[in-house]
Amino acid sequence: MGVADILAAIDQEIAQLQQARALLSGSVAPALKRKAGRPRKTEAVVVPAAKPATKKRKRKLSPEGRKRIAEAVKKRWAAQKAAAAK
């Protein structure tokens, strides 16, 4: 028997004793009570290593491009206002 086997046997015996104590005292054992919400992750779940996050470069808009977009938006607003007036 290895150390891991001995520890597993002790843990199992502790769980049985806690259940017996809970039955004798008339209350629910804390190990048997479920909490609300998402269960915790177990150590057995292996998550693949993710790539380190790369910082995205911020794209810059030229003044000419900004002016074209502003004119297009104003034209769109004017069209919507004219359609609402009719």
Is the pTM for the entire model greater than 0.75?
Answer: no
Q: What is the pLDDT of residues 26-47, one digit of tens each?
A: 765 455 567 788 877 776 555 5
**Mean pLDDT computed over 6-31:** 84
Residue-wise DSSP of 16-72: HHHHHHHHHHTS--TTTPPPSSPPPPPTT--PPPPPPPPPPPPP---HHHHHHHHHH
31 within 8 A of 14, measured Cβ to Cβ: no
Q: What integer best gives the mean pLDDT of the chain?
A: 84
